[in-house]
Structure 1
Amino acid sequence: MTYLTLDEVLAVHEKMLLIGGGREGVHDFTLLHSAIERPKASFAGKSLYPTIWLKAAALIHSLIKNHPFEDGNKRTAYFSTMRFLRNNGYEVVASSKEVVNFAVRIDIKNLKLTEIARWFKSHSKNL
């Protein structure tokens, strides 16, 4: 399993701001680090997120809900998670409208990780 680094997520964030605009800056590095590390979490030697879909769900959920950046949190969260999945052999296939609705639902509707994981699984294909 290949996980994202802080530098990779920061690069995605920078690109999102260049494309879509917004205020630069990290609001809270502790929350950013926590979000990036969450997919790796384990207890008593067992992964808390044993599938790639749950790991992707944990990543996007934490990046959106932690709001570590001054702006562009949902965009950065989604595209960072797409990069994570691509690095591990999957590609997300969804329209721009589906992506926006999905990210907003995670933020506002407090989707469960299993619901988020199910969305990624149903909208992904092997590379």
Structure 2
Amino acid sequence: MRYLTADELIAINSRLAIRAGQQPGINNSEQLGKVIAVPQSNAYDQNLREMVANKTGFLMEAIIAGKPFVNMNLQTAAIAVATLADLNDYELTFTNDELVDLVDRVDKDQVEATDLFAIFNGHLKQK
């Protein structure tokens, strides 16, 4: 399983912020470290697909809840989970509207972190 590094996550956020005409930056470096560690924690996944489904959910929730960046945290979460899936030879099958809606619902605490596995598992396609 390939995980995103802190540098890769910072690059995603910086690119998004600059495109939006905003100043990129880290809001909380300790929180960024936690965001990187969460998906890497051991779980009892049976296969790579389950690992990718779990880890993408964990990563999305960690970025949105932790808000490690000065801005663009929600957008960073969306791009980061798609990138994590891609790095492991999967693609997300959400439409743009579905992914935006999911990010919004996670941000508003309308989705339990434990439900994210089923949501992502239903939207993964092996390349």
Q: Which category of TM-score, normalised to the shorter sequence, fits these structures?
A: 0.7 to 0.9
| Distance (Å, rounded) in 2 between the aligned partners of 1:49 and 1:66 | 24
In structure 1, stretches of 5+ residues that fail to align are 42-46
Structure 2 partner of 1:95: 95
Amino acid at match of 1:90: Y
Return the offset for 1:56. Answer: 1.1
Return the offset for 1:49. Answer: 6.0
- 1:109 alignment partner, SS class: coil
- In the alignment, is the contact (CA less than 8 A) between 2:90 and 2:126 conserved in 1? yes
Q: Give the stretch that moved more between structures: 15-24 or 85-94.
A: 15-24
Determine which of 11, 26, 48 is the counterpart of 2:43: 48
- In the alignment, is the contact (CA less than 8 A) between 2:56 and 2:81 conserved in 1? yes
The count of corresponding residues between Structure 1 and Structure 2 is 122
| Distance (Å, rounded) in 1 between the aligned partners of 2:110 and 2:23 | 25
1:8-56 deviation line (CA, Å, top 9, x unaligned): 1011111211333434211101001101111111xxxxx2363221111
- In the alignment, is the contact (CA less than 8 A) between 2:53 and 2:124 conserved in 1? no
After TM superposition, the structure 1 = structure 2 runs for residues 1-127 of structure 1, keeping only pairs within 5 Å, are 1-41=1-41, 47-48=42-43, 50=45, 51-127=51-127
Change (3 A) 1:19 1:49: farther
TM norm structure 2: 0.87
| Distance (Å, rounded) in 1 between the aligned partners of 2:61 and 2:55 | 10
- In the alignment, is the contact (CA less than 8 A) between 2:14 and 2:25 conserved in 1? no
- In the alignment, is the contact (CA less than 8 A) between 1:49 and 1:58 conserved in 2? no
Change (3 A) 1:107 1:3: same
1:62-121 deviation line (CA, Å, top 9, x unaligned): 011001111100110111111111001110122221111100101102422231121211
